[in-house]
Each structure stands twice: as C-alpha cells, then as structure tokens.
Amino acid sequence: MMLLQLLVFASAVLAALPPGFIQLPMPPFDIVQGPREEDARDAAINIKKLVHQVTSGTLSSVFPASADDPPHLAPGVKFTHRDENGNEFIPYKPKMEGRPFALPEYHAPCHSAPSLTFLILPISRSSQNILEHPQHYATYTLAEELKKGETSMSSARVALMGNVTLLRDLSEEEETDLAECYLSYHPDARGWLPGKKGSPHFSEWARMDLEKIYYVGGFGDTHYIGDVPVGLYKKVSGDERFSAWL
C-alpha cells in the first residue's frame, strides 16, 4: 500500500513539471511478494498427509465421575496407607471428574475420511474415559515430524475432535481387512489384535468419526491457523490428485 501511494505521488509531481523539463528515466523495479498464505484448503490437504504419514498421536479424554469411586476390593479386604513410621493415614486424593487426560496412542487411516481406526483396550485409562462418556467424545492430535532446522512451533499440527464407536458387528472378512490395514501401519500391534490367542489384554476395533478439526500450520504470518470444515477435509481426502505422497 505504501509503495502504491509513493507511485501515485511521483506521477502527480511529474505531471506538474513545466514543459521542457528533462525527465530522467525511471529504473526498472520488481515488486517482491512474500510467500502465498495457506488457506483452509491447503490445511485440509496437509491434514490428509498427517493422518496417513503420522500414525501415532495423542489421544485426549476426560475423567468420568466414576474415576472418583473407591477401588473395588474383595469382601473382607481392607486397603490402608502407612507412613515410614508405620502409622496409618488417609492420603490426599484430588477430585478427578472432568479433568483432561492425554497419552500417546496409535491410529490407522483404514476407514474413509473423516473417520479414523483405533484399537480400544478396556485396561487403558483413555479407553475407560471415552467409553464412560455418554457421547464417547475424544480428541486426537497429530504433529508433523520435525525437519532439520525446524522447531515444534513452526511445524504443522492438528486436533481432530469427534466420537468413538465400538465395532462389534463386523463380519469375518471386515475384521481381516481391518487387521491387515492396521498392521500395515503398526506391525508391532499384532500381539494385541481383537481375538488374538495368547494376547495379554482384551481389545476391540473402534472408529472415530470427526466432528470438528482445528489446525495450526506453523507461524501465523504465512500458515493457516483455525478451524477446517470437516466436509472440506473429506472432499480433499477423496481427491486422487492429493494422493501422490501416500
């Protein structure tokens, strides 16, 4: 804007010069423009890339009211706390209901966008929180792997918010397809797949359906920061033009 104002001013001055005044030629110049700013569509394309290339993120949930219940003990069993002198005491126990809880988790893009595939293990605190919430709400965050010379704050990250559904009516073929897809991203998970003989823990397939997406592309001067419509993310995820790097 300032450059445009200077050009307008210079033109007005030259027009006011008397006839015969020698005008020196103006040297050529180029207008240097900064990098194009990201928009929501760019962000949606980047989110698709994150979902397919970064399959380990942070699963966030909220403690339910039952988190404050006393532990279930067998009849006649008493649980006590004693200090270093052997004196019994009641430990401080903060109220947990409504507090956020977050731990690393796996996902796989085995379902069509805007859904993600998870393994739910009832022994997991994250799984317990999600399943005990009336709407099974959860938030899953992914962050771009750092490149040399970059910082965490300059890298893309996304928060995927939605609800989780247990998939208990799958056919044998559907379970096989899910297992093959999931293991292609996480071969180390073979030991705790649903129905796996000898698995130390019970597990179930689950699908997270996204309802809201919040994206931070990096620094706000050139990168997109804000909500990304779920419909837009679904649209670019189905566009093969953006699948070259998957």
What would the pLDDT profile of 173-186 be if each residue is shown by its tens digit?
A: 999 999 999 999 99
In whole angstroms, what is the distance from residue 84 CA to residue 77 CA? Answer: 22
Strand partners, 226: 215
Q: Is residue 25 domain-resident?
A: no
Q: Answer for the pair 87, 80: CB distance below 8 angstroms, yes or no.
A: no
CATH number at residue 110: 2.30.110.10
Q: Does the residue 102 lie in any domain?
A: yes
Q: CA angle at residue 131 from 127 to 133, to 5 degrees?
A: 120
pLDDT at residue number 18: 46
pLDDT band at 91 (very low <50, low <70, confident <90, very high): confident
By three-state DSSP, how is residue 42 classified? helix
C-alpha distances (whole Å) from 48 to each of 42, 43, 172 are 10, 9, 29
Does the residue 83 lie in any domain? no
Domain span holding position 143: 39-66+98-242
- Does 215 map to a domain? yes
3-class state of residue 127 by DSSP = helix
Q: Which of 82-86, 106-110, 161-165, 177-181 comes out lowest in average pLDDT?
A: 82-86
Residue 211: which of 158, 169, 179, 163 has the closest Cα?
163
The answer to the question of residue 151 being in a domain is: yes
Structural domain includes residue 181 = yes
Quote the pTM value. 0.77
* 236 domain-assigned: yes
Residue 30 included in any domain? no
Go through 144-153 and write b for each residue having 16 or more CB atoms within 10 A of its CB, e for each that does not.
beeeeeeeee
Q: pLDDT tens across 202-223, in order?
A: 999 999 999 999 999 988 778 9
Report how far residue 173's alpha carbon sits from residue 179's, in angstroms, rounded to the nearest whole number.
10
Q: What local confidence, expressed as pLDDT, does residue 148 receive?
A: 75
Distance CA 246, CA 238 (A): 12
Number of domains in the chain: 1
The pLDDT, as a whole number, for residue 107 is 98
When comparing pLDDT for 119 and 152, which is higher?
119
pLDDT tens track for 16-52: 544 443 333 434 443 333 456 889 999 999 999 999 9
